């Protein structure tokens, strides 16, 4: 849980209720000296506040291809993703696929609406009519059941599967970006072309806006707030062992990330802490890279974190490959 909160803790309710870290009331932590501290002794609002959700919500997952006009649909999604009602979260997931032995790009649109299906259709007809969402595409269920659906479990899977911590053996690499300016249709077509050339990858585009835009950047360490349209997660999986397989994938990773440079944030190129990306700097050879990754992850809050850690952990006991050091080298 601590790792989830330290990165902000985002989920499908964030446009309505902010991040997990925005809802922490109290917590007990152990500092480098072994002392247990809580909100009172720390002096800051650090327990999780439960938020209400309707007994019945609506989930949908529809896929569109290039041949079905997905570029127009994705373009419209970009225009409204951060402006749709706060009760609606729609993830767009571009990926490379095959249709009749022909490589193409498909986009999955996966949505959670805090309300009933009929009301969702009315919202979608106003917001993204190009998607053509219909009642038959929608499933009404409890909120916890939507968590199984978002995770890819088939309908009817028992809820206790959430207690199963075993995973299949594979390798993965994540990277992240944030988008503040709309991407044009022509640029989307260029992105699709690059994806088809590279092959082994998918992206998740997670919408921001509404409540996420109302919290000041300085409220908590997580700074990516007002002005963010969506966050990109680049996802790469492979199962082959060995350096050759890894180097191949990392080449694809680097090329796609470089290709996206014109379309994402700049100075800094913002990044999401919990997709730990050692490519943007690490402490293996000392703390000289700390300000590089620190500013990408925390922006203007990085200096505050340095000051806080110099008091809380002056000897850098809780060090990691991308820690906040107690001080920077001169």
Catalytically annotated residues: 275
Neighbours of 244 (CB within 10 A): 9
- Greatest Cα pair distance, the chain, in angstroms, is 64
Query: Residue 171 — left, alpha, or beta (φ > 0 → left; ψ -120 to 50 → alpha)?
Result: beta
Long-range (24+ apart) CB contacts under 8 A made by 284-290 are 284/321, 286/329, 287/325, 287/327, 287/328, 287/329, 288/328, 288/329, 290/323, 290/324, 290/325, 290/328
Whole-angstrom CA distances from 53 to 15, 71, 103, 118 are 13, 33, 41, 18
| Vertex 107 angle, CA 106 and 108, to 5° | 120
């Amino acid at each position: 849980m601590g790792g989830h909160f330290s990165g902000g803790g985002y989920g499908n309710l964030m446009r309505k209720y902010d991040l997990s870290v925005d809802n922490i009331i109290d917590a007990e932590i152990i500092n480098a000296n072994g002392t247990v501290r809580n909100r009172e002794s720390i002096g800051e609002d650090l327990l999780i506040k439960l938020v209400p959700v309707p007994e019945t919500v609506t989930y949908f997952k529809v896929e569109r291809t290039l041949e079905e006009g997905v570029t127009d649909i994705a373009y419209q999604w970009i225009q409204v993703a951060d402006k749709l009602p706060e009760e609606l979260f729609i993830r767009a997931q571009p990926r490379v696929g095959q249709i009749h032995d022909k490589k193409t790009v498909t986009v999955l649109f996966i949505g959670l609406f805090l309300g009933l299906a009929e009301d969702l259709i009315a919202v979608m007809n106003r917001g993204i009519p190009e998607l053509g969402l219909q009642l038959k595409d929608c499933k009404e269920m409890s909120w916890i059941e939507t968590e199984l659906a978002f995770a890819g479990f088939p309908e009817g899977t028992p809820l206790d599967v959430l207690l199963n911590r075993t995973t299949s053996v594979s390798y993965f690499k994540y990277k992240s970006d944030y988008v503040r300016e709309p991407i044009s249709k022509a640029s989307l077509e260029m992105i699709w072309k690059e994806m088809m050339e590279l092959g082994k990858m998918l992206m998740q585009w997670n919408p921001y806006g509404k409540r996420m835009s109302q919290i000041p950047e300085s409220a908590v360490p997580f700074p990516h707030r007002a002005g963010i349209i969506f966050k990109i997660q680049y996802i790469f999986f492979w199962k082959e062992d060995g350096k050759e397989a890894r180097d191949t994938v990392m080449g694809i990773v680097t090329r796609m990330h470089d290709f996206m440079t014109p379309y994402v944030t700049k100075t800094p190129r913002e990044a999401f802490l919990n997709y730990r990306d050692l490519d943007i700097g690490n402490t293996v050879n000392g703390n000289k890279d700390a300000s590089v990754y620190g500013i990408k992850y925390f922006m203007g809050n990085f200096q505050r974190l340095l000051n806080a850690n110099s008091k809380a952990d002056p000897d850098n006991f809780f060090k990691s490959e991308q820690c906040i050091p107690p001080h920077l080298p001169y």
